[in-house]
């Protein structure tokens, strides 16, 4: 049990002359804040560290009423005074990520008994909670006498609370979908998700945009294939809907990949996808997906010499693992042609499609590294539903 102090209580504790009331003075809160900001989950992020420090400073200064979304956007993130908070979500996104990082900090055993600093959903005002041994104790003798008569009721109440909490956790665990389980390592990782899409060099003399289809014009303007662009939009929308902020880099470097979880889109045009899968069971090789354990298999390939629009099938490879070089959770997906990439994006965002993976998965598969080979039939230039051809868990 912890006793929570709001900003008014902190001021009373700091100004009172009675030692029994000085339980969590601002100096101790500032020391705790300094430890948090120097921890691995905050020290490499100027944005989230600045946000947290600003909010704590305002509370300790007795100015918690000023912690409004617009004020924070202007003073912390340099937005203009009249910026539109309905379309610019920078403060809400930052608050969500700070909450996630604070939770991660206190999950570490060595931090479990620290003074807690929390910013609860729906508010930007930090609350401070004392560990058990530092909680404020009333000095009233009548309170102490009554405590001995209430201990049994308190134990029963605690048991009921924990029983109810256990039931809620069990219910939620049993109702998580296969899609939730697949993305759990990404969503639980600190930091925003990096979406890295491979690019292709533009031709020296590109045709006029007015002469192109919408699909081809998109490629000429962005240098990103149509399939990658569609999949990027689908995945970023899915992750943002789960409260995970995304950042997009068309040609990421190794430092970018070390900043948090990553999703790599594209195969031959994305060097990081090729590197990630290079030593795994299923690999990209010469216009095909090959199985190292069964090198005789050659059916997962497309004929690059046939007319583009006459292809009837495409194949894709999906991988999810902790990259040994970046030590970050990484998901990669790519088709041999763009239809496979689109089908892989559908597979990774549709609960019904993801059940196909779970049906053949071993126990505790969500904690394992995963590779999945998919196929899709192409009809009238459009990919059909993805089909699971092979899986590997380790």
The average confidence (pLDDT) of the chain is 79
Contacts of residue 348, defined as CB under 8 A and 6 or more positions apart, other chains included, come to: 182, 183, 235, 238, 318, 331, 333, 354
- Of the pLDDT bands very low, low, confident and very high (cuts 50, 70, 90), residue 224 is low
Which residue did the predictor score with more confidence, 217 or 266?
A: 266
Q: What is the mean pLDDT of residues 8-23?
A: 37
Report the 3 state secondary structure along 25-53.
CHHHHHHHHHHHHHCCCCCCCHHHHHHHH
Query: Between these two residues, 156 and 26, which has the higher pLDDT value?
Result: 26
pLDDT higher than threshold 90 for residue 204: no
> What is d(CA 315, CA 387) in angstroms, rounded to the nearest whole number?
9
Contact 34, 26 (CB under 8 A): no
Model pLDDT, residue 266: 87
* pTM: predicted TM-score of the whole model, two decimal places: 0.53
Higher pLDDT, 133 or 386: 386
Q: Above 80 in pLDDT, residue 144?
A: no
Task: Let me know: does 244 contact 186? Beta carbons within 8 Å.
Answer: yes
- Which residues have C-beta within 8 Å of that of residue 235, sequence separation ≥ 6? 195, 246, 263, 265, 345, 348, 349
Copy the structure tokens of residue 278. Answer: 């290079």
> What are the b/e assignments for 37-59, b being 16+ CB within 10 Å?
beeebbeebeebbebbbbbbebb
* Chain segment 289-323, per-residue pLDDT in tens: 999 999 887 789 887 677 766 778 899 999 999 99
Q: What Å distances lie between residue 11 and 31, 64, 117, CA to CA?
A: 17, 12, 16
pLDDT of residue 343: 93
Which pLDDT band, with edges at 50, 70 and 90, does 347 fall under?
very high
Burial class (CB in 10 A: 0-12, 13-18, 19+), 208: exposed
pLDDT at 159: 47
Q: How far apart are CA 105 and CA 99, in angstroms?
A: 10
Q: Name which residue leads in pLDDT, 125 or 222.
A: 125
Which token pair is 94?
A: 């930052």
Nearest to 25 by CA among 8, 17, 13: 13
Would you say residue 223 has pLDDT above 50? Answer: yes
Contact 67, 55 (CB under 8 A): yes
Give the Cα separation of 124 and 280 in Å (integer). Answer: 45
Q: Which of 350, 209, 199, 111 is nearest to 358 (CA)?
A: 350
Contact of 295 with 286, CB cutoff 8 Å: no
pLDDT value for 11: 42
pLDDT band at residue 19 under the 50/70/90 scheme: very low
Residue listed under structure tokens 């809160």: 29
Burial 313-328 (b: 16+ CB within 10 A, else e): bbbbbbbbbebeebeb
The pLDDT value recorded for residue 90 is: 92
Contact 386, 346 (CB under 8 A): yes
Higher pLDDT among residues 198 and 39, named by residue: 39
Range with lowest mean pLDDT among 8-17, 93-102, 306-315: 8-17
Q: Is residue 345 very low, low, confident or very high in pLDDT (cuts 50, 70, 90)?
A: very high
Taking only the tens place, the pLDDT of each residue in 230-263 is 888 889 989 988 889 998 877 788 888 888 999 9
Q: Is the pLDDT of residue 148 over 60?
A: no
Residue 199 has what pLDDT?
67
Output 287 or 77, whichever has higher pLDDT. 77
pLDDT digits (tens, 9 = 90+) for 61-79: 889 889 999 999 999 999 9
């Amino acid at each position: 049990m912890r006793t929570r102090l709001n900003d008014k209580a902190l001021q009373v504790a700091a100004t009172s002359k009675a030692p029994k009331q000085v339980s969590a003075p601002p100096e101790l809160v500032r020391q705790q804040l300094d430890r948090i900001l120097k921890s691995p989950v905050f020290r490499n992020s100027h944005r989230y560290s600045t946000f947290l420090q600003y909010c704590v400073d305002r509370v300790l200064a007795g100015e918690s009423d000023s912690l409004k979304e617009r004020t924070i956007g202007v003073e912390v993130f340099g937005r203009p005074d009249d910026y539109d908070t309905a379309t610019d979500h920078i403060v809400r996104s930052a608050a969500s990520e700070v909450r996630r990082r604070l939770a991660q900090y206190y999950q570490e055993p060595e931090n479990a008994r620290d003074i807690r600093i929390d910013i609860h959903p729906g508010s930007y005002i930090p609350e401070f909670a004392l560990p058990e041994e530092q909680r404020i104790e009333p000095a009233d003798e009548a309170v102490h006498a009554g405590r001995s008569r209430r201990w049994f009721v308190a134990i029963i109440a605690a048991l009921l609370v924990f029983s109810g909490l256990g039931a809620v956790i069990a219910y939620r665990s049993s109702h998580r979908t296969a899609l939730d389980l697949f993305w759990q390592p990404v969503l639980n990782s600190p930091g925003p998700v990096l979406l890295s899409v491979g690019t292709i060099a533009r031709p020296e003399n590109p045709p006029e945009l007015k002469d192109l289809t919408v699909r081809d014009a998109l490629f000429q303007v962005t240098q990103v294939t149509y399939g990658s662009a569609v999949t990027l939009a689908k995945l970023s929308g899915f992750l943002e809907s789960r409260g995970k902020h995304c950042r997009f880099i068309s040609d990421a470097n190794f430092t970018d990949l070390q900043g948090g979880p990553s999703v790599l889109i594209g195969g031959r045009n994305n060097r990081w996808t090729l590197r990630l899968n290079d030593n795994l069971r299923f690999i990209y090789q010469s216009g095909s997906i090959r199985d190292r354990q069964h090198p005789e298999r050659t059916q997962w390939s497309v004929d690059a010499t046939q007319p583009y629009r006459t292809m009837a099938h495409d194949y894709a490879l999906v991988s999810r693992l902790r990259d040994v070089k970046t030590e970050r959770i990484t998901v990669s997906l790519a088709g041999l042609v763009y239809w496979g990439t689109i089908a892989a994006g559908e597979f990774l965002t549709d609960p019904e499609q993801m059940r196909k993976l779970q049906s053949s998965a071993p126990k505790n598969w969500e904690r394992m590294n995963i590779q999945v080979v998919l196929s899709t039939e192409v009809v009238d230039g459009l990919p059909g539903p993805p089909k699971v051809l092979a899986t590997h868990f380790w």
